[in-house]
Chain A
């Protein structure tokens, strides 16, 4: 059973705010989804170890220095920049 406290804790970890008026509906939605997810615990089998798909192995490439993006290009989608840096409000 998912409680209001669970939802508040999960929201904090998810970096989301759940407004007071939406707490009931979000708790119910989460509870429904978790009950649905719980059906896997009815499985009699334990399953088998799964660590990758289609036998993929790590794909390494040579550690070569290649041209990167221009700093201004990287900053072009930011809301606030200052002298080549992303800008956020001062915290301390």
Chain B
């Protein structure tokens, strides 16, 4: 894995604030203000490093001061720049916890080591974490609960997860779901 592949994007500069070189940043971190908790950040190309400090809020964006940047015009030139850090600086996880960045891109295999697809997203809509898997068979994506029952093995080092089965839908019984009256359909 190259050095650049091992990085995550914490946020991006979307505008400037005032005349003293403050920038407005869209944070992608779980807690927006944590963007300055990972030390020095760099741009996408890795050519510039920034020392950043959150100084306030501007609506749903953060106001960030970059050390050594005191001019609005210089700040404006950085608009669109992403803040990247190495995954190595992320804190250690508790048991059964995984970073989304580590899970996305893993190959999905069944118990016979046959490749079923790839993890393309991790979501939580309020009913627990789930993986979005893009199936190699037909290109469609399917959601899978992120539980030990469905995903018994996760091997981040070798880049795969083993799923016991894709979602096992109960068989539809036409008689069971026949609607008794018009108002009761769903």
A is bound by B: no
